């Protein structure tokens, strides 16, 4: 593992579009429990490759569908003004953020 890499990345197709899933590397394979449900931040869903902050910022700015988990990646998205603080959902101390950017003529 490259010491500079701090994020896990997985790109998937969702309804014909590319969705970027990024989480803080230290959260991979963690289970977050809240009441009667659990969220598994699984390696299968989030971890195809590891990326650094520069690569993450580039992906965040160029992608239209983002699924982000973790303090570092969510803070980066907020710093890049891709979402507002009130869009972040915190569960058991872990921030979650989904971003959908719509471009084109409607």
Residue 83 has pLDDT above 90, yes or no: yes
Is residue 1 in some structural domain?
no
Q: In the predicted model, what is the mean pLDDT of residues 36-44?
A: 93
Domain hosting 39: range is 7-100
What is the rounded average pLDDT for all residues in the chain?
Answer: 91
Edge to edge, what strands does the sheet with 49-51 contain?
49-51, 7-14, 17-24, 65-69, 94-100, 89-91
Task: Choose the weakest-confidence range: 43-47, 71-75, 98-102.
Answer: 98-102
How many domains does the structure of the chain reveal? Answer: 1
- pTM (predicted TM-score): 0.89
Where residue 73 sits, what CATH number does that domain have? 3.30.1860.10
- Domain membership flag for residue 2: no
Q: Is residue 105 part of a domain?
A: no
């Amino acid at each position: 593992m490259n010491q500079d890499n701090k994020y896990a990345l997985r790109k998937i197709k969702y309804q014909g579009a590319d969705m970027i899933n990024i989480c803080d590397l230290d959260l991979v394979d963690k289970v977050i429990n809240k009441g009667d449900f659990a969220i598994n931040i699984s390696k299968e869903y989030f971890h195809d490759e590891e990326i650094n902050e520069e690569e993450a910022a580039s992906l965040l700015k160029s992608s239209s569908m983002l699924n982000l988990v973790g303090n570092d990646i969510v803070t980066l998205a907020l710093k890049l003004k891709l979402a507002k603080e009130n869009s972040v959902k915190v569960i058991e101390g872990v921030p979650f953020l989904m971003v959908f950017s719509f471009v084109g003529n409607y």
